[in-house]
Chain A
Amino acid sequence: MGFGSAVIPVSVITGFLGSGKTTLLRSVLRDAAYAGSAVIVNEWGDIGLDHELLETSEENLLGLANGCLCCTTRGDLARTLIDLAARRRSGAVSYHRVLIETSGLADPAPILHTLLVDPAIAEGHRVEALVTVVDALLGAETIERHPEAAQQALLADRLLLSKTDLVPDTGALEARLRALNPGAPIMRAVQGAIAPDMLFNAATKPESLQAWLDAVAEPRARHSAGVETISILREAPLPGVVLPLFLEALAEHAGDKLLRMKGIIHVAEAPEKPAVLHGVRHVLHPIEWLEDWPSEDRRSRLVLIGQGIPQWWPARLLEALEEEARG
């Protein structure tokens, strides 16, 4: 599915308290291509400071205070995005992208959920990337002590190590992050200095999907705290009718246990155009069709990251539906 110019990309910057989210955002907004972004900052506390540190036009900067985006202010986020879009349509504000900085304690999953399920939001926006900033100095300890930090790393499209100038060796932290989220490239930045396109724009490219699938499907990919990776590999093309049935069953029966799902599918009726599947919990994107395969590998590959999903249930379900479709 292509994206019209009216569809605004939305990226989320998350990371634990003090990890360097605002520093990154400030740096991103200095890039000419990102300077015209609408920025939504969620600060947890009575006095918001972060938004004061951002150099962007006032009308494009919105603060959501007194609560965390993933819980109390989710409705505010929806309303803010809808209001922004209305103001954009009326010409009151101008922007081509939305950047959301979460509070340090936010769980990104409900935020993604909010962005995806509200028809009024989903109609004019697409989720582009979830970037998680990890403090190179304190990140390993933080992940061990705070489930929120682990969840932020687990769901990221891109992991950005900050403050790397303070730590000569980040090997142990990187190994921990790879164990949590083998599919997300780990990048490094000092004072937020990194090309924003590497963080945001590249995350939705087919090559990124390919890399994610390759990394996550490796046997060494294992998570902690009951989080498991389930990989499905199919040599034979799948009948197209199986996909919606499979996604519906997945959402209905495993949606509450599914943290993330991505896949590239060889559909029998469209062998030259692979179908791309994305999902977060029971939120499933419409099937996207690529113009071409990102590599020579034309097998269907589906990777699910979840908690409490029996290892073989998705593959067995797919097999049953496939058999029904073949009659």
Chain B
Amino acid sequence: MNPPALRALLADSLVLWGVTGRSDITDQGVRITANDLVLHVVPASPDESPIRWWLIREDRRRPAASMLGLLRSLRYALNATSAEPARAWVSAAP
């Protein structure tokens, strides 16, 4: 995923979560500045597989094996989770 595409998805995610902030492309990935925090989203190198992404906050690094996991971690780090626990209900077919 190229940096502009990653930045665009993360910027849209902030809007979706109602977070006011900014996202910038850096040498390593994308920097998120929001809620008085600075977070870095960095693609993992191929030899770190199955890790695909790192979410870095100060000196802490949190791995994510997919975009799904990365978004979840980022939202949690930004304290932008909804009041109700997020879960997908799968119902009987229509």
Contact = CB atoms under 8 A, between A and B. Distances in A.
B89 A253 contact: no
Given A313-B9, A320-B9, A117 B71 contact: no
B16 A285 contact: no
Contacts, number: 104
A46 to B, nearest CB: 33
B20 interface: no
A255 B88 contact: yes
The interface centre, meaning the residue of B6, B66, B68, B92 with most chain A CB atoms within 10 A of its CB, is B92
A219 interface: no
Contact of A284 (B5, B52, B66, B89): B89
Interface residues of B, number: 27
A150 to B, nearest CB: 23
A282 B90 contact: no
Interface residues of A, number: 43
B15 to A, nearest CB: 5
B13 interface: yes
Interface string B1-17: 10001101100110111
Given A257-B16, A308-B16, A319-B5, A247 B94 contact: no
A87 interface: no
A116 B91 contact: yes
Interface of B: 1, 5-6, 8-9, 12-13, 15-17, 52, 66-68, 71-72, 75, 82, 86-94
Interface of A: 1, 3, 7, 116-117, 122-123, 125-128, 204, 245, 247-257, 278, 282-286, 288, 308-310, 312-313, 316-317, 319-321, 323-324
